[in-house]
Amino acid sequence: MNTEVLTKEGIQVDLLDFLCRQFYVDIEDIALDRSLVDTGIIDSMGLIEIASYIKKRYAYTVTNEEMNRDNFGSVIKIVDFISRIKEG
Amino acid sequence: MFKNNDDIKRCKRCILSENFPRIKFDSNGVCNFCNNELLHITEDEDIDKSRDEVINLLNKNKGQAEYDAIVCYSGGKDSTYTLKLAVEKYKLKVLSFTLDNGFISPVAFSNIEKVVSELGIDQITYRPSYKFMKGLFRISSLDNIYNPKTLTRISANCNSCISIVNNMALKMAMEKNIPFILAGFTLGQIPSSTIFYQNNYEFLAESRKPILDKFKAELGSDVSKHLEISQELIKKSKGYPYNINLLCLEDITEDEIVEQILPLGWVKPKDVDGCSTNCRINSFNNYVHIKKFGYSPYELELSHLIRKNLLTRDEALKKLFDQPQEQIDFVKAELRIDDSMLEKY
């Protein structure tokens, strides 16, 4: 597991960098508290790509049960989710 | 209005054009994608890791159901090679599945018949009514149904068509407890992070709901039949299958793929454009995409192949510009669409 990024702020910076590079959007396009799907940044395949990013970056395989709006409903929620799995 | 493809500014190394999202050119005319400023993933490393994981997954799960895998088979060169890989290299018991979208080249259908016979595998063709498919393509072309940020690699019509393929393949896999769905996507068409993944219909369906609602408003209940899975089947199913894109694990050129599939009786259709080997609606889809966004949905894929030395820049440009006008006009007439109806995003 990569232990370089430890704070929520660091997790968020890293996630936003991934989103901008992977989906060709500017950071200003991303509303932190809104669904990335609802705001048109990603489609359903984008969710798979984010799960794959979490697996690669944090060595954690997201389960089917964890793929829900509570965990993936916004950048803030994804950051909280990553933070929880890192603590766990 | 966007410029024509012929006089558009393009990267000197790949073929990405000035209208592609987030593109910038350096003083030598080379784009920031080629200069590795935007691509996030070290693909070689990802591919090696994915290959090991895919082999482990296949070995762990094969031989447990009537079929090991459904192969989404369009009759095109890439899915033909995927089918061959599945049967001959990975020794899987496969069910070949084709969506007849109403615009498949007759030569592609003949290829399907020859290849499945030669490989000795079962084949299912699923054909929604032509009226439904035309309605789906008309709405996808005219109504800006998808967010433009999600259409950098794919046209709206291809997205709609592939959604049916994915949904019907998933439905069959869940009904028959088949552990794998294989498709013929290449890197460039999809990011390396999706070489393989486990389906999760419920969450993904939630994200697709606004799009399906728009389709339902115009096309009615047939949308559910072709693009949704019932709660009853979800409850009954033993779990979600994995989607795997085997072709992404191969380091092979287009010519080498064709060389491999010719002995199966495969023939290149002549009534398709330079970017397709099976579908006669593709050039129209590209035409609409360029009208709306100013770049072809194939630019990213072809540029990826150039950077991997699997295609030259000239070959890529030849493919990009090989868009037969008669194919575009034929589809326009079938869908009752003229240029004045195609709004820019």
B39, B43, B181, B207: best to mutate for the A interface, most A CBs within 10 A: B207
Which ranges of chain B would DSSP assign to H, the alpha helix? 43-61, 77-84, 106-119, 130-142, 156-176, 201-219, 222-227, 231-236, 254-261, 282-293, 299-307, 313-321, 325-335
Q: CA nearest A34: which of A86, A87, A80, A73? A: A73
* B268 inside domain: no
Give yes or no: residues B158 and B94 share one domain. Answer: yes
Residue whose tokens read 């910038």: B24
Q: CA nearest B175: which of B242, B89, B234? A: B234
Cβ-proximal residues to B293 (8 Å cutoff; 6+ apart), any chain:
B2, B19, B148, B151, B345
pLDDT confidence bin for B5, thresholds 50/70/90: low
* B267 inside domain: no
User: Chain-wide mean pLDDT for chain B?
Assistant: 93
pLDDT of residue B1: 42
pLDDT confidence bin for A86, thresholds 50/70/90: confident
| Cβ–Cβ under 8 Å, residues B222 and B129 | yes
Q: How far is B209 from chain A (nearest CA, A)?
A: 10
- B285-301 confidence digits (pLDDT tens): 999 999 999 999 999 99
d(CA B230, CA B88): 34
Give yes or no: residues B200 and B159 share one domain. Answer: yes
pLDDT of residue A1: 47
* A67 inside domain: yes
* CATH of residue A44: 1.10.1200.10
**Is the model's pLDDT at B273 over the cut of 80?**
yes
- Domain total of chain B: 2
Work out how many CB contacts closer than 8 A connect A with B: 68
* A3 inside domain: no
* B91 inside domain: yes
- A58-79 confidence digits (pLDDT tens): 999 998 889 888 999 999 999 9
* B255 inside domain: no
* B306 inside domain: yes
Residues of chain B in contact with residue A17, where contact means CB-CB under 8 angstroms, are 40
Give yes or no: residues B184 and B315 share one domain. Answer: no
Give yes or no: residues B301 and B193 share one domain. Answer: no
| Cβ–Cβ under 8 Å, residues A15 and A51 | no
Give yes or no: residues B152 and B219 share one domain. Answer: yes
| Cβ–Cβ under 8 Å, residues B156 and B285 | yes
* B125 inside domain: yes
pLDDT confidence bin for B6, thresholds 50/70/90: low
ipTM over 0.95: no
Cβ-proximal residues to A65 (8 Å cutoff; 6+ apart), any chain:
none
Domain boundary among B205, B228, B249: B249
d(CA B155, CA B288): 8
Q: Name the most confidently modeled range: A51-55, A63-67, B143-147, B217-221.
A: B217-221
Average pLDDT over residues B289-315: 94
* A21 inside domain: yes
* A72 inside domain: yes
B200, B204, B212: best to mutate for the A interface, most A CBs within 10 A: B200
Give yes or no: residues B94 and B111 share one domain. Answer: yes
Give yes or no: residues B11 and B146 share one domain. Answer: no
- B21-63 confidence digits (pLDDT tens): 989 999 999 999 999 776 555 567 778 889 999 999 999 999 9
Give yes or no: residues B245 and B228 share one domain. Answer: yes
Percent of chain B whose predicted confidence (pLDDT) is above 70: 96
* A80 inside domain: yes
Nearest by CB to residue B200, choosing from A18, A24, A67, is: A67
Give yes or no: residues B23 and B119 share one domain. Answer: no
Q: Which domain holds residue A50?
A: 8-87
- Domain total of chain A: 1
Q: Do A49 and B191 touch (CB under 8 A)?
A: yes
In DSSP notation, B273-313 reads -TT-SSBTTHHHHHHHHHHHHSS-TTHHHHHHHHHTTSS-H
Nearest by CB to residue B39, choosing from A21, A23, A72, is: A21
Q: Which domain holds residue B27?
A: 1-39+281-319
Give yes or no: residues B24 and B109 share one domain. Answer: no
Residues of chain B in contact with residue A19, where contact means CB-CB under 8 angstroms, are none
Question: Which residues are paired to B126 by β-bridges?
Answer: B99
Q: Do B206 and A72 touch (CB under 8 A)?
A: no
* A1 inside domain: no
Q: Do B207 and A18 touch (CB under 8 A)?
A: no
Give yes or no: residues B33 and B73 share one domain. Answer: no
* CATH of residue B202: 3.40.50.620
B203, B245, B345: best to mutate for the A interface, most A CBs within 10 A: B203
Give yes or no: residues B58 and B170 share one domain. Answer: yes
* A2 inside domain: no
